[in-house]
Structure 1
């Protein structure tokens, strides 16, 4: 089979399109023929080895996982003798970040707990956009933000992969949503249901007097002090992504601020979860959430796909078709 191999940290040019053996599923594994995958921030970390603390998870000197790629959507080709949830021919999707990655390939053998039946109203290409970004948004809003109907939620960086899902999921939970984006992305977040849009190229949301129950920081480089001013008395700031200095501020200064006041500052990393894949399936099939796809590349164009993703300006997801 064809697969993308990452043998050393570096630029997209270090990725190699190679021929390797099709994996054989273990008794508790499912062999999936992959039709599509997508690029997430975690893939960029696997590629570059940055930020450096991530190497304690992904490999100190070289990538621990030779085939990157976390999101996938495909068809079950074979099942191990202990597999009970799936049958040959099932159309599935999943997040492989907790089970060896390996989604940038034609086939993968993976634990059945990493998969769920894909939403019936999505193509494989669309379904591959959902797992990591969609579940990141779901867990940030539901589990960390504890967003309830009637609350006011601000999403900073609302036009990317996680942000587009966050807008829709917050709306599905009954929140009033404000999206912070650049000029070119105003229309797209409005189309996703954002109640208010702040164009950061024309105005600074930090200058607004309005405050929010929950702020989801998906992108940007605002200081913790700015977010603190924009939170209501018992508000929560959830750091999902953005500049490294913002991450470190949230981890260190934010932790201290959370202890001395009622406002909470949380650094968050999503966890692959089969049940949450099924929750996303329901939201999508009910029409409350849909993936937004910016560009699609073939597996052989993986270098160009990463170069585009690295720029940080994608509207929604960047997809790799296998």
Structure 2
């Protein structure tokens, strides 16, 4: 167990208490939607696990563009899920890794002291997170907490896109745009693990990174337009809305699969317009245009843990920030140029 894990385990045994003896924790909290400046570092009540829940002392929590959308409440469509006038949960964040501090009476698979990683719908940018046991799996022993925390949402998205939607098979050609980003860096490695011939698209400064992840070919978009090279691909995972759908479809094989995982859109619907357009077009072509929404599944997290343990997938960590600098972390993510993942350490 590394020093961070020892600290997390020790802190779980010595809870801080408020004026009335109520256990508290430090957290990044927002009272309303807005830019990163709405986040405040506060002492709040520590959650208590229900029958099927696990209380985890958070060692690290990653942030991604989805967290930024939820924090700002834009596109406004997210408010239908997370709260119309203000966030339903005042603590942002979804992905994390840590040490089990307590379990509910119905939890038998995990015990205090176990190192786990997973996701929460009630916020993870805090010293503790209370989550259903089904959202957690044991952390890979060869990964740090920072690395484990980087995995859940981005890697599950890449896994489900390539395995479940595209059914990537050995020998197929796969192109991944945004190959150095959060989803893209996992997608390159997962596609290689599936036996595909992988082409990654990224900027000049990330060419060597993407090549180191296992990409067979790397396209520098600052000098080369992949839609005009004449090469076609069986699968395209488009994490960057850099070209119109029509242009991307031109480099897809006649029966290939395009997964649009991006889109700018406006303040109301965000990427939904591009996704709906792809869905409509799919009814008029042999090509498969398959927008999708990834779902957190425990079994997929176990699959990723196995890939990490086998050394087939290694999270790329761009930067780490302390909890008090969570606003800076989200500003950096919003700029759209991360190399892999951004992680908050506690």
Q: TM-score range by the shorter chain?
A: over 0.9
Question: What is the correspondence of 1:1-322 to structure 2 with a 5 Å cutoff?
Answer: 1-96=25-120, 100-244=121-265, 247-322=271-346
- Check the 8 A contact 2:265/2:274 in 1, yes or no: no
Partner SS for 1:267: coil
| Superimposed CA distance per residue, residues 104-159 of structure 1 (whole angstroms, 9 cap, x where no aligned partner) | 11011111001000111001111101111111110111011111111000001110
Deviation at 1:248, TM superposition (A): 4.0
Residue 265 and residue 250 in structure 1: after superposition, are their counterparts in 2 closer, same or farther (change >3 A)?
A: farther
The farther-off stretch of 193-202 and 214-223 is 214-223
Partner SS for 2:49: coil
| Superimposed CA distance per residue, residues 286-319 of structure 1 (whole angstroms, 9 cap, x where no aligned partner) | 1100000000000001111111111111100000
- Check the 8 A contact 2:263/2:274 in 1, yes or no: no
**For the residues of structure 2 that align with 1:155 and 1:208, how far apart are their CA atoms?**
15
- Check the 8 A contact 2:177/2:240 in 1, yes or no: yes
Deviation at 1:241, TM superposition (A): 2.3
**For the residues of structure 1 that align with 2:279 and 2:82, how far apart are their CA atoms?**
25
- Check the 8 A contact 1:217/1:241 in 2, yes or no: yes
Q: TM-score, normalised by structure 1?
A: 0.96
Show structure 2 runs of 5+ residues with no match. 1-24
**For the residues of structure 2 that align with 1:26 and 1:233, how far apart are their CA atoms?**
52
**For the residues of structure 1 that align with 2:188 and 2:305, how far apart are their CA atoms?**
17
Deviation at 1:242, TM superposition (A): 4.3
**For the residues of structure 1 that align with 2:76 and 2:235, how far apart are their CA atoms?**
29
- Check the 8 A contact 1:68/1:103 in 2, yes or no: yes
Deviation at 1:62, TM superposition (A): 1.3
Deviation at 1:254, TM superposition (A): 1.5
Deviation at 1:270, TM superposition (A): 1.3
Partner SS for 2:250: helix
**For the residues of structure 1 that align with 2:321 and 2:343, how far apart are their CA atoms?**
6
Find runs of 4+ consecutive structure 1 residues off by over 6 angstroms: none
| Superimposed CA distance per residue, residues 176-205 of structure 1 (whole angstroms, 9 cap, x where no aligned partner) | 000010111101000000001110000111
Show structure 1 runs of 5+ residues with no match. none
- Check the 8 A contact 2:36/2:331 in 1, yes or no: yes
Partner SS for 2:80: helix
User: RMSD of aligned C-alpha atoms?
Assistant: 1.3
The farther-off stretch of 304-313 and 283-292 is 304-313
